[in-house]
Structure 1
Amino acid sequence: MSNVLVAYFSASGVTKNVAEKIANENGYDLFEIKPVEPYTAADLDYMDKQSRSTIEMNDKSFRPPIAETCDVSGYDTVVIGFPVWWYTAPTIINTFIESVDLTGKTIKAFCTSGGTGIDGCVSDLQDSYPELNFSKGMRFMGNVSGAKDWIE
């Protein structure tokens, strides 16, 4: 077991590809945060005010159920990856955070996004979970060569 866990949520595969590259290139463990009900293309249509993702993101208390959680007790650092939705982390990230004990761990968030940076996402997570230790996040577009330096 490595000392770093890369946990990620990916709706379309972009974040999954980045998370797998980071984990594989650096020998980190990998965990996919999977919704009980996978997201369809229609669910992800941010232009549709009635799409599943829009409804979820408009309700900050909503927690989409996840298929399974994982034991993070053996890790000092947990890296959480996600696509940016509505300028922040998808609510399923809150579901994951609330399903594990991240107390005392270094938490590094990374996002995949065509335009939005990570700082607002990390700030929102820190505001929601002030007891947790979030470090500066990173946005990746595919090239993960700087991931190890950032994580360690």
Structure 2
Amino acid sequence: MKTLVIYFSKTGTTKAVAEMIADRLGADTYQIEEAQPYTSADLDWNVPTSRANLEQGDDDSRPAYKGKLPDLSSYDQVIIGHPTWWGQPPRLIQTVIEHLDLSGKRLATFATSGGSTYVQAQTVMDRILDHPAPGCVLNNERDIVSWLTAIDF
């Protein structure tokens, strides 16, 4: 099974987990980049009018991505990784998923988080993907190995 790990990472934490997953699976990776880079002020959750607060609070927000998305035609499995912002995936993830043809792909999702569980993010991802896909918060190699074993990837 050929696998692609697609991820968005602002601090490097999600990137590190995505790379560990890819190494374990012999998978390819693709890093999502935002068209308008987030600044530290954009990500300040203490400021109600920060860009991220406004995006996360708006179900219709679809921040643009930079570049061309990968061709998924040669992949059997796709794993989508993201940080958890306010308990859910950044809106950029939804933008990207809406522009990918994931039909016929075996899917899984993961997040990195300093304190959130994956419950709310799982609900959002299942809705975005139009069907359940196993997901989990992963922050270290032990979690990654356990999760990949549990979902048989």
TM > 0.5 between the two?
A: yes
What corresponds to 2:73 in structure 1?
73
Gap change, CA 1:151 and 1:119, over 3 Å in 2: farther
138-147 vs 55-64, greater mean Cα deviation: 138-147
In structure 1, C-alpha distance between the alignment counterparts of 2:78 and 2:11, rounded to whole Å: 22
Q: Deviations over 1:3-28 (max 9, x none)?
A: 11100001111101111111123210
Q: TM-score, normalised by structure 1?
A: 0.90
Verify the 8 A CA contact 2:9 2:15 in the aligned structure 1: yes
Verify the 8 A CA contact 2:3 2:25 in the aligned structure 1: no
In structure 2, C-alpha distance between the alignment counterparts of 1:139 and 1:25, rounded to whole Å: 17
Kindly state the Cα deviation for residue 147 of structure 1 after the two structures are TM-superposed.
4.6
Number of equivalenced pairs: 149
Gap change, CA 1:11 and 1:56, over 3 Å in 2: same
In structure 2, C-alpha distance between the alignment counterparts of 1:77 and 1:137, rounded to whole Å: 14
What corresponds to 2:15 in structure 1?
16
CA RMSD of aligned residues (A): 1.6
Q: TM-score, normalised by structure 2?
A: 0.89
Gaps of 5+ in 2: none
Gap change, CA 1:151 and 1:49, over 3 Å in 2: farther
In structure 2, C-alpha distance between the alignment counterparts of 1:138 and 1:124, rounded to whole Å: 13
Residue identity over aligned pairs, in percent, reads 36
What corresponds to 1:87 in structure 2?
87
Kindly state the Cα deviation for residue 129 of structure 1 after the two structures are TM-superposed.
3.9
